[in-house]
Amino acid sequence: MNFLSYQSVPAILKDNSRKYAKRTAISYNKRGVFLSLTYEEFYERVLMLARGLKQAGVQRGDRVAIFSENRLGWAISDFGVQSAGAITVPIYATNTGKQAAYVINHCEAKVVFVSTQTQYEKLYAIRDQIPNVELVISYERFMGERSFPVYTQYQLSEVERPLTETETAMIEKQIDEIRQEDIITIIYTSGTTGVPKGVLLTQRNIMVNTTHGLKRVGSSTLPQTFLSFLPLSHVLERTGGYYMPLLTGNHIAFAENVQKVMENMMEIKPTNMVSVPRLFEKIYSRIYENVHQASSFKRNLFHRAVEVGREYVQKKYVTKEPLGLLELRYKFFDKLVFKKVRERFGGKIKYFVCGGAPLDKTINEFMWIIGLPVFNGYGLTETSPAITLSSFDIIRFDSVGKPLHETEVKLADDGELYVKGPQVMQQYYKNEEATRETIEDGWLKTGDIARIDEQGYVYIIDRKKELIVTAGGKNIAPQPLENELKLDKFISDAYVYGDGKPYLVALLTPNLERLIDLGRELGIHYIDIEELVTNEKVMAVYTRRMEAFNAALPPYKTIKRFAVLPREFTIDGGELTPTLKLKRKEIYNKYKDIIEELYIKAGNGVVRRPKADNERLETSVSASKMH
3-state secondary structure of 273: strand
Q: What is the CA radius of gyration of the chain?
A: 26
Cα(122)–Cα(115) distance, rounded to whole angstroms?
12
Cis peptide before 385 (omega within 30 of 0): yes
CB 68 within 8 A of CB 93: yes
Cα(470)–Cα(504) distance, rounded to whole angstroms?
8
The pLDDT of residue 258 is: 86
* Angle between helix 512-521 and helix 536-551 axes, rounded to 10 deg: 120
User: Phi and psi for 452 in degrees, rounded to 5?
Assistant: -125, 125
Angle at 103 between CA 203 and CA 188, to 5 degrees: 45
The pLDDT of residue 607 is: 46
Q: How far from 344 is each of 256, 287, 447, CA to CA, in Å?
A: 18, 10, 38
Cα(129)–Cα(35) distance, rounded to whole angstroms?
38
Cα(61)–Cα(166) distance, rounded to whole angstroms?
23
Cα(43)–Cα(35) distance, rounded to whole angstroms?
16
Go through the chain and tell me how many residues it has: 627
170: nearest Cα among 248, 276, 83, 261: 83
CB 90 within 8 A of CB 114: no
User: Phi and psi for 225 in degrees, rounded to 5?
Assistant: -120, 120
The pLDDT of residue 193 is: 57
DSSP 284-341: HHHHHHHHHHS-HHHHHHHHHHHHHHHHHHIIIIIS----THHHHHHHHHIIIIIHHH
In this structure, what is the dihedral angle of CA atoms 439, 443, 449, 450, given to the nearest 10 degrees?
160
Cα(536)–Cα(67) distance, rounded to whole angstroms?
47
Count the neighbouring beta carbons within 10 Å of the beta carbon of residue 416: 15
443-452 and 439-440: which strand pairing?
Answer: antiparallel
CB 497 within 8 A of CB 487: no
Query: 576: which DSSP letter?
Result: B
Cα(559)–Cα(606) distance, rounded to whole angstroms?
8
The pLDDT of residue 195 is: 83
Helices and strands, number each (H, E), in the chain: 23, 26
Strand partners, 136: 112
3-state secondary structure of 365: helix
408-411 and 416-420: which strand pairing?
Answer: antiparallel
Cα(27)–Cα(44) distance, rounded to whole angstroms?
16
Q: How far from 171 is each of 4, 177, 306, 621, CA to CA, in Å?
A: 22, 10, 56, 63
Residue 437, judged by CB atoms within 10 A of its CB (0-12, 13-18, 19+), counts as exposed
Domains of the chain as residue ranges with CATH: 3-188 (3.40.50.12780), 467-625 (3.30.300.30)
Q: How far from 110 is each of 76, 134, 252, CA to CA, in Å?
A: 18, 5, 30
The pLDDT of residue 617 is: 31
- pLDDT lower than 70: segments of the chain: 191-194, 601-627
Cα(10)–Cα(439) distance, rounded to whole angstroms?
29
The pLDDT of residue 409 is: 98
The pLDDT of residue 194 is: 66
Residue 5, judged by CB atoms within 10 A of its CB (0-12, 13-18, 19+), counts as exposed
Cα(300)–Cα(51) distance, rounded to whole angstroms?
63
Cα(47)–Cα(341) distance, rounded to whole angstroms?
43
350: nearest Cα among 479, 223, 449: 223
User: Residue 136 — left, alpha, or beta (φ > 0 → left; ψ -120 to 50 → alpha)?
Assistant: beta
Q: How far from 411 is each of 421, 422, 539, CA to CA, in Å?
A: 15, 19, 43
Residue 67, judged by CB atoms within 10 A of its CB (0-12, 13-18, 19+), counts as buried
The pLDDT of residue 613 is: 31
Query: 500: which DSSP letter?
Result: T
CB 138 within 8 A of CB 122: no
CB 48 within 8 A of CB 157: yes
